[in-house]
Structure formats: structure tokens, C-alpha cells
Amino acid sequence: MAIDLQQIGKRFRFYTHLKELEIPEIQKITGSDTQVLENIICGQDYMLDELVAIIKHFPDLNSKWLIYGEGSMFKPMNEDGTCTGNHPKDCLKKDKAQYLKQMQEMLLELDAAEVAKGHKPDMDALRAKIVELKDSTSTAAE
């Protein structure tokens, strides 16, 4: 399976937006060079060793999803029901409706890229999760 640096960048950007992380915060967490982070997010020339060094700082990120677009963005739950990393719902902004709208817009961009690569079921699962979160936000607001 070929590795597409631009797709990795789009998925990493999607993940970091969901976690509300900007480049300075990612740099602080990972100790990585700003230029390397920008290259990864933009899908430009970088070494996979650099990517691996960065993603090891995100224990909930599924590296198979990030690199190949396979499976879920987040690692699965442990057998005891606890998360293997931070749960994505814990990262939502206070204004969940606005945040979910932003995630839907990013999902459309990612969806177009993933569908072009034939990963439609993965995108349908992500879309269902966003709709589920949106519905729970609507119910809680009432």
C-alpha cells in the first residue's frame, strides 16, 4: 500500500483540530521543529521517522489510520471500558454546535480525499459520530 504524504497531512490536521491543537502546542508536546510540523500538515517532503517521533506523543491516535487511512482515528477502548488515550468527547469546545460545524466542514474535505482513495466506510463512520455528537448537543440544549 502506497503512503500518501498529503493524505497523512490532512488526517493529522483533522486530528489536531479535533484535539484543538495548534502548531505551537504540538511543538511544545513533541519537541519537534516548527518546519517539520508544517511540512507534515501540508503534506510536503518529510521523513517518516519524523512523523513517527511526533505521533508517539499522541497515545490515542491510531497510527494505521493516520498513515494508511484504515480503521478509526482513535485507538480502541481497553477491555475495562477505559480509553487507551484521551476520549475525543473530552476535547470538544464549550460551544459544541460551532465546533461540530467546523468538524463537519473538515470532514467534507477529508471525505473527498478519502473517497477518491476508496475509503468510504471509514468516512461514513466518522460522519455518524459527528451526527451522534450533534444530536446529543441538541438534546442537552433543550
Per-residue model confidence as pLDDT tens digits over 16-64? 988 889 999 999 999 999 999 999 999 888 888 899 999 999 988 988 8
- Interhelix angle 23-30/34-42, nearest 10 degrees: 120
Percentage of the chain with pLDDT > 90? 23
Predicted local confidence at residue 88, as pLDDT: 44
Neighbour-count burial for 15-31, b at 16+ CB within 10 Å, e otherwise: bbbbbebeeeebbeebe
- Average pLDDT (103-124) is 68
Predicted local confidence at residue 1, as pLDDT: 56
Please count the structural domains in the chain: 1
Per the listing, cell 468516512 goes with: 123
Residue type, 91: C
Do 91 and 58 meet the contact criterion of CB atoms below 8 Å apart?
A: no
Predicted local confidence at residue 39, as pLDDT: 92
Q: In the predicted model, is pLDDT for residue 138 greater than 50?
A: yes
Q: Give SS3 for 76.
A: coil
Per-residue model confidence as pLDDT tens digits over 81-98? 444 444 444 343 445 566
**Domain residues for 70?**
5-141
Q: In the predicted model, is pLDDT for residue 71 greater than 90?
A: no
Predicted local confidence at residue 107, as pLDDT: 73
Do 54 and 67 meet the contact criterion of CB atoms below 8 Å apart?
A: no
- Average pLDDT (107-120) is 68
Give, in degrees to the nearest 5, the angle at Cα 63 between 2 and 97.
110
Q: Give SS3 for 1.
A: coil
Decide: residue 139, CB within 10 A, 0-12 exposed, 13-18 middle, 19+ buried. exposed
